[in-house]
Chain A
Amino acid sequence: MKCISAAALSKAYGDTRAVDRIDLNVEPGQAFGFLGSNGAGKSTTIKMLTTLIRPTSGSLNILGVDALREPLRVRRRIGVVLQQPSYEPTLSVERSLTKYGMMWGVPGDESRRRAERLMRDFGLADLRKKRNEDLSIGQRRRVQVAREFMHDMDLLFLDEPTVGLDPAARRELLDYLKEKAASGLTIFYTTHILSEADYLCDNIAIIQKGRILASDTPAALKKRLGRQKTITLRTNADDQTVATALAGIPDCVVQTGMGASITIESAKPEHILMEVLSRLRKNGIKMREISAEAATLEDIFLETIRDASGSETG
């Protein structure tokens, strides 16, 4: 049984299609990354998946339950960290956690135990008596995320949860989520920070203008879509000699300045590299350094979005 199974899911506001016939399949125990730029349709999708809004059309099954027919049954088994801040301004950090536990029906003793553990795990112990309204944005965000672990769940939705967090807190949160995913919790994680998705997620879908452009594991996406690879070489010759020797080779750029450096950006850089090495040898130029970089998820994301925009305009 899939944790999330959506088919042809759409949401329209008047004539505008915020989400357009998307299909999603998330397996149990997976950390699923949902990537998209601002306004791509991520939040609308997550609101449909969490039953906050009703799709205009399509089918949606969450944890084996028809989410359109029985939304409450779904909500009882999921956790949601929304993109917008949510907090009780007058409650202390500790009270926020225990009250949230109470709202989910967690018994008092257990609720206090969980609150203690979460305050420790999220670095909130020193802030326990502080009211939410007196916290910084980042601290409040930590409370908001920690609070969701007060109750049991099978599936956790997080909509850009690291907004407002400093780099250390961000990494700690990702590590915490990774640990939870490893222990069997299914995570649906939306972000536009691609390094986060690369670090956390087993599977990724890229959404743009309400449509899913690609969906696979990060490695498979890089293999399938990462057409560009970059190879950089440094030589012992001067800029002019290298530029003359390599003139006319496609996708090969000679950068001048601190000793000539040659950059090859191509889908098949190995072929070009052979040609470059052959010409360097013929001209008696020796190579001092060589490095190769595979495409990052960010490259793939930008490339995918660019391709989609290009095919629309072209």
Chain B
Amino acid sequence: MHPVLRLVNRNLTVSLNPGFLIWQVLFPLIYIFVVGFAYTSLIPGVTYNGEHVTYPAFLATGMIGFNIMNSTLVSGLIIWNDRRHGMFEQIMSGPYTRMQYVLANICTIGTVGMISAGLIVGVGYPVFQESAEFTIYTIPLIVFAAVTGSVLFGSLASIISTRLTSSEGFNVVINTTFIFLAFASTAFYPAEGAPEGLGAAFYFNPLTYIVDAIRAGIFGGITQAVFVEMAALSAIAATLFVVAAKMMTKVDL
């Protein structure tokens, strides 16, 4: 087996424990079926691309992007945990290069992101199936958005992991980042309804682009704007990946 695949195997064993998987399903389920339906009395529906979409359907599709971010930020903790528990140094003293370690982490994060997205698509499908308009062209877009989003958030978590040394500092930064990215995005509500400044701020958030692309893939309505968003997202993901890889090569042993 190739060294990168061996490391991916190990990373998945370490990250995909039953607790993590249950949390990955349970957390979005609460959002979709509790928050989504509870808010229906306040938000009867959302107009998406000229079509009426129920709020639970809108939220369920947003939760796919949200769950990708959530899981990949958690998977990005692999580096943090490896450093904290001495495994980074142990792996580096074995038959691996740093670049293989970085690649394996990104592959792991991408895999976890896809699994998370798949879980929410499976769980949320009954909620958004009425409005869904999958085509042969939209599924690759959803997969592309999921993978790009995974790389982006995984790289972000890796950068944070390599920069910080204290557990307290790390938890503060990762949680603040997570809350900001989750709530200042279109995952939970459309940008159009938000106050002007806040609505604009949504578009400085990569999660918005991921969610927009996934919704366009599910509800149809792939416009030129979606492609521009995807191009921007890919550029940010690539930049963060390069920065994360560079920083990994400089981690002291």
Q: Please list the residues of chain A having a beta carbon within 8 angstroms of any beta carbon in chain B.
A: 47, 50-53, 72, 75-76, 78, 80, 82, 84-91, 95, 99, 102-105
Contacts and interface: CB of A to CB of B under 8 A. Distances in A.
A52 B6 contact: no
Contacts of B97: 72
A47 B97 CA distance: 15
Contacts of B92: 52
Contacts of A99: 10, 13
24 contacts: A52-B92, A52-B253, A72-B97, A76-B95, A78-B93, A80-B90, A80-B93, A82-B86, A82-B93, A84-B86, A86-B87, A86-B89, A86-B90, A87-B87, A88-B87, A89-B81, A90-B14, A91-B13, A102-B9, A102-B10, A104-B94, A105-B1, A105-B6, A105-B95
B89 A84 contact: yes
Given A52-B253, A103-B6, 11 more contacts: A75-B94, A82-B89, A82-B90, A84-B86, A85-B86, A87-B86, A88-B14, A90-B14, A99-B10, A102-B6, A102-B10
Contacts of B250: none
Contact of A75 (B6, B10, B89, B95): B95
B17 A103 contact: no
Contacts of A72: 95-97
Interface string B85-107: 11101111111110000000000
Q: Which 4 A-B pairs have the closest CB atoms?
A: A86-B86, A80-B93, A86-B90, A76-B95
B76 to A, nearest CB: 17
B7 interface: yes
Contacts of A47: 253
Nearest to A157: B93
B13 A95 contact: yes
B22 to A, nearest CB: 14
A109 B122 CA distance: 36
B85 A88 contact: yes
Chain B, interface SS category: helix
A103 B1 CA distance: 9
Interface in B23-56: none
B93 A52 contact: yes
Interface in B64-98: 81, 85-87, 89-97
Nearest to A87: B85
B95 A104 contact: yes
| A-side interface mostly | loop
Contacts of B17: 90
Contacts of A86: 85-87, 89-90
Given A52-B253, A53-B253, A86-B86, A103 B7 contact: yes
A283 B89 CA distance: 69
Nearest to B17: A90
Contacts of B14: 88, 90-91
A14 to B, nearest CB: 13
A217 to B, nearest CB: 28
B107 to A, nearest CB: 15
B13 A50 contact: no
B85 to A, nearest CB: 6
B161 to A, nearest CB: 16
Contacts of B9: 102
A76 B95 CA distance: 5
Nearest to B7: A103
A280 B22 CA distance: 86
Nearest to B91: A103
A216 to B, nearest CB: 28
Nearest to B6: A103
Interface in B1-17: 1, 6-7, 9-10, 13-14, 17
A177 B35 CA distance: 60
A88 B17 CA distance: 12
Contacts of A78: 93
Nearest to A53: B253
A91 B97 CA distance: 24
A99 B91 CA distance: 12
A102 B6 CA distance: 7
Nearest to A147: B90
Contact of A85 (B10, B85, B253): B85
Nearest to A84: B86
Contacts of A90: 14, 17
A309 to B, nearest CB: 30
B103 to A, nearest CB: 15
A88 B10 CA distance: 10
A250 B177 CA distance: 75
Nearest to A90: B17
B97 to A, nearest CB: 6
Contacts of A52: 89, 92-93, 253
A78 B94 CA distance: 8
A234 to B, nearest CB: 53
A88 B97 CA distance: 20
Contacts of B1: 105
